[in-house]
Amino acid sequence: MIDLRDKSTCPTLEEIGQYVRNPVFMQFCLELKEAYQCSENIAFSACSMERGWNVKFKKSGKALCTIYPREDFMTVLVVVGRSEKERVEAVLPECTAQLQEEYRQTREWNGQRWLMIDLGDNGALYRDVLRLIQIRRSSARPPR
């Protein structure tokens, strides 16, 4: 079993999946890779709140999300910035009560809300998170 707080050894995506022990982790990662033709970046965070290895997905230099592995589930960070806010708030009434509550409870700071969403299955909340990521991706500036 890997130690996600051990900075000296970078785990593979598969090792992180074994740590999470929930197939939703690999399913989510594969969906992102296929939908956005991107690859994961496994990075160590020294932040005192979330110290340890996490998985970041970016497309064209824009962060799509960061996944914080947990035992039996994962926490997905999706940033709703100024460019996504209006579109996210337009679809929010169609989303799960859990996501709506997370959005309301997350304070806006510097024009952004950093939503930390716990996922343990591939139900409605899972689909809501993918929708937020799709909005985030579609708001990216076109390449120059």
- pLDDT tens digits, 2-14: 889 999 999 999 9
Average pLDDT value for residue range 31-45 = 96
At residue 48 the predicted structure's pLDDT band, cuts being 50, 70 and 90, is low
Residue spans per domain, the chain = 13-138
* Rg from Cα positions in the chain: 15
Rounded Cα distance, 23 and 27, in Å = 6
Percent of the chain beyond pLDDT 70? 96
The pLDDT, as a whole number, for residue 32 is 97
- At 87 the three-state DSSP class reads helix
Q: What integer is the mean pLDDT of 110-128?
A: 97
pLDDT at 140 over 70: no
Query: At residue 123, does pLDDT exceed 70?
Result: yes
According to CATH, the topology of domain 13-138 is Aspartate Aminotransferase, domain 1 (3.90.1150)
C-alpha pair distances (Å), 28 with each of 24, 74, 89, 127: 6, 10, 23, 10
Q: Is the pLDDT assigned to residue 143 strictly greater than 50?
A: no
| Confidence class for position 144, pLDDT limits 50, 70, 90 | very low
Q: What is the pLDDT of residues 51-84, one digit of tens each?
A: 899 999 999 888 999 999 999 999 999 999 999 9
Q: Which helix (H) or strand (E) holds 75?
A: strand 74-80
What's the CA dihedral at 118, 119, 124, 128 to 10 degrees? Answer: 60
Q: What is the mean pLDDT of the chain?
A: 93
